[in-house]
Amino acid sequence: MIKVLVATDKPFAKVASDQIRAIFSEAGYHCTFFEKYPDQDSLVQAVADAEAIIIRSDIVDQNVIENAKNLKIVVRAGAGYDNVDLKAASEHNVVVMNTPGQNSNAVAELAIGMMLYQVRNHFNGSSGTELFGKTIGIHAYGNVGKHVARIARGFGMTVYAFDPFVSHSAIENDGVIAVETVEELYSKCQFVSLHIPANEKTKKSINFELLSLMPANAMLVNTARKEVICEESLKRSFNERKDFCYVSDVAPGNLSELDAFSSRIFCTPKKMGAQTAEANINAGIAAANQIIGFFEKNDVTFKVN
Ligand code: 3PG
């Protein structure tokens, strides 16, 4: 019997876990849930006899992989896989997959929700502003970016996007204006929503120079990764621009240094973009089916290493 471990420090909604359990039971696999675990050492111990692991933002580093002697596949139920050591996985013949698109709408809805919360002064009852008629830039037009664009258009915003990996015609078919450079995006848009992955090229790439291009009443929206922000630049932007706001699902490391700007910043207490029953069901079921497809049919669609 194939042993699957669902190792999610941030658990799926019960309705999703129940469906994952049912899928594996039907397939004749042995599935165990390991949730809200105390530390990384306990994860290392829990993976010892797993042949497959489903994770979320859980850290699968070299130590985890080396201690999971039977491991064949890790599926990140979600989009970003910067939490998995792909090199170590490949060296140990472990396939790594993600489940692209499955939780994107949930993240996009949170991005728009945080924008509303901020333009309405944290719902404190004082007079705020509207999203209607404003400009928003989608920085990377992937699955989440597309949903943000769709919802923003529904609010009557003018939507721009920058993505060197997506053709202008694909962007413009969605009623979104494609721009040539990242600088153009930031210059044109009062709101910018980040959807870039965290990798060696993007880490700390959102810097003061870029943020200072943004028009009046600039708002940066981050549901991507905290690592893409240059935190010194973030602090400098707050200091030098009295109109700069930041809303984020991934709080910066220097959040405590930004206390003085509390009316212009909002960060969720814990990363929760993908925390909806729908997203958990979609991503969890996709992950379970991908594991079964891998073992039964050697299907490696969505392999990322
Ligand atoms: C993702 O990369 O899919 C999102 O950041 C969601 O991450 P989570 O599964 O930890 O909520």
**Shared-domain flag, residues 53 and 175:** no
**Shared-domain flag, residues 23 and 67:** yes
Which pLDDT score, from 0 to 100, does residue 109 have? 99
**Shared-domain flag, residues 242 and 96:** no
Q: CA–CA separation, 229 vs 234, rounded Å?
A: 7
Which pLDDT score, from 0 to 100, does residue 85 have? 98
245 located within any domain = yes
302 located within any domain = no
How confident is residue 128, by pLDDT bands cut at 50, 70 and 90?
very high
Query: From atom 3 of ligand 1, which residue's Cα is the shortest distance away?
Result: 78
Ligand 1 centroid to residue 128 C-alpha, Å: 31
Ligand 1 centroid to residue 215 C-alpha, Å: 30
Question: Which of 58, 103, 223 has the most ligand 1 atoms within 8 A of CB, as the residue to mutate?
Answer: 103
Rounded to a whole number of angstroms, the distance between the first and last alpha carbons of the chain is: 26
Q: CA–CA separation, 182 vs 196, rounded Å?
A: 12
**Shared-domain flag, residues 197 and 170:** yes
Q: How many domains are contained in the chain?
A: 2
Q: In what order do the strands lie in the sheet with 30-35?
A: 30-35, 3-8, 52-55, 73-76, 95-98
Which pLDDT score, from 0 to 100, does residue 226 have? 97
Whole domain around residue 51: which residue ranges? 3-102+275-297
303 located within any domain = no
List, for residues 200-217, the tens digit of each pLDDT value.
Answer: 999 999 999 999 999 999
Please work out whether the CB of residue 271 comes within 6 Å of at least one atom of ligand 1.
yes
**Shared-domain flag, residues 139 and 244:** yes
305 located within any domain = no
List, for residues 135-154, the tens digit of each pLDDT value.
Answer: 999 999 999 999 999 999 99
- And the tokens for 147? 């949903």
**Shared-domain flag, residues 154 and 253:** yes
List, for residues 15-46, the tens digit of each pLDDT value.
Answer: 999 999 999 999 999 999 999 999 999 999 99
**Shared-domain flag, residues 36 and 123:** no
**Shared-domain flag, residues 193 and 236:** yes
Please work out whether the CB of residue 57 comes within 6 Å of at least one atom of ligand 1.
yes
Which pLDDT score, from 0 to 100, does residue 218 have? 98
Ligand 1 atom, smallest distance to 58 CA: 10
Mean local confidence (pLDDT), 180-207: 98
**Whole-prediction pTM:** 0.97
Ligand 1 atom, smallest distance to 275 CA: 11
**Shared-domain flag, residues 34 and 114:** no
List, for residues 82-115, the tens digit of each pLDDT value.
Answer: 999 999 999 999 999 999 999 999 999 999 999 9
List, for residues 225-262, the tens digit of each pLDDT value.
Answer: 999 999 999 999 999 999 999 999 999 999 999 999 99
130 located within any domain = yes
Q: What is the CATH number of the domain that holds 23?
A: 3.40.50.720
Q: What is the mean pLDDT of the chain?
A: 98
**Shared-domain flag, residues 187 and 86:** no
**Shared-domain flag, residues 87 and 109:** no
304 located within any domain = no
**Shared-domain flag, residues 189 and 251:** yes
Query: At 175, is the secondary structure helix, strand, or coil?
Result: coil
Mean local confidence (pLDDT), 46-67: 98
How confident is residue 124, by pLDDT bands cut at 50, 70 and 90?
very high
Which pLDDT score, from 0 to 100, does residue 30 have? 98
